[in-house]
Amino acid sequence: MSNSKPNIILIGAGGHCVSVIDVIEQEDKYNILGVLDPKKNEDNILGYPVLGGDELIPNLVNDNNYFLITVGQIKSYSIRQKIADNLKNNKAKLAIVVSPLAYVSKHASIQDGSIIMNGAIVNAKSKVGKHCIINTKSNIEHGAIIGDFCHISTCAVVNGGSAIGKGTFIGSNATVSNGITIEENSVISASKFIK
């Protein structure tokens, strides 16, 4: 029965990858085929094989294989962008992963390559772009727009009608007030209140 599920290949074998594996196992939508990371000396991550580096991407692209970038993002999203460009150039299919412990409104949209982690809330009419990390217990309120390559960190809140520019990192417990626009590539410190 598990053979009917598509495969997923994770790119990046650090701490974020470990958290993502846990969410994928809970969602039970994909079979984890393995992890790509050229710098990792370990042969497995949580029991899943490290297959090699990004040079394997062209050989792994097929109709049953999906990819997800599992490199974390704190300041710059440049490494994640480079991987995304490689995936796009190879016409790779991108996964969308949503924890069963998260709430995503049926009136919200999540784009390819993004993950919604445990306890996160994505409310009605909000939009999450490509390759985003909506981390544990973060809250994306109604009508908020999250640009591509954003990381909304643990317990952060983006209130209604706010727009978060591409590549922005919002730290743990930070709060963005209603109707605020955050420029691209911004870094919002943990626990900061933006109004």
Q: For each of the domains in the chain, give its residue range(s) and CATH number, in order of start.
A: 2-95 (3.40.50.20), 97-195 (2.160.10.10)
pLDDT tens column, 26-63: 999 999 999 999 887 788 999 999 999 999 999 999 99
What is the structure's pLDDT at 75?
76
State residue 2's pLDDT score.
45
pLDDT of 41 reads: 75
Q: How far apart are the first and last CA of the chain?
A: 50
Averaged pLDDT, 167-182 = 96
pLDDT digits (tens, 9 = 90+) for 117-166: 999 999 999 999 999 999 999 999 999 999 999 999 999 999 999 999 99
- Region 16-31 average pLDDT: 97
Report the mean per-residue pLDDT for the chain.
95
Confidence at residue 40, expressed as pLDDT on a 0 to 100 scale: 74
This prediction has a pTM of 0.94
Q: What is the band of 3 on the pLDDT scale with cuts at 50, 70, 90? A: low
Q: What is the pLDDT of residue 39?
A: 82
pLDDT of residue 133: 98
pLDDT at residue 1 above 70? no
DSSP secondary structure string, the chain?
Answer: -GGGSPEEEEE--SHHHHHHHHHHHHHT-SEEEEEE-TT---SEETTEEEEE-GGGHHHH-STTEEEEE----SS--HHHHHHHHHHHHTTPEEP-EE-TTSEE-TT-EE-TT-EE-TT-EE-TT-EE-TT-EE-TT-EE-TT-EE-TT-EE-TT-EE-TT-EE-TT-EE-TT-EE-TT-EE-TT-EEPTT-EE-
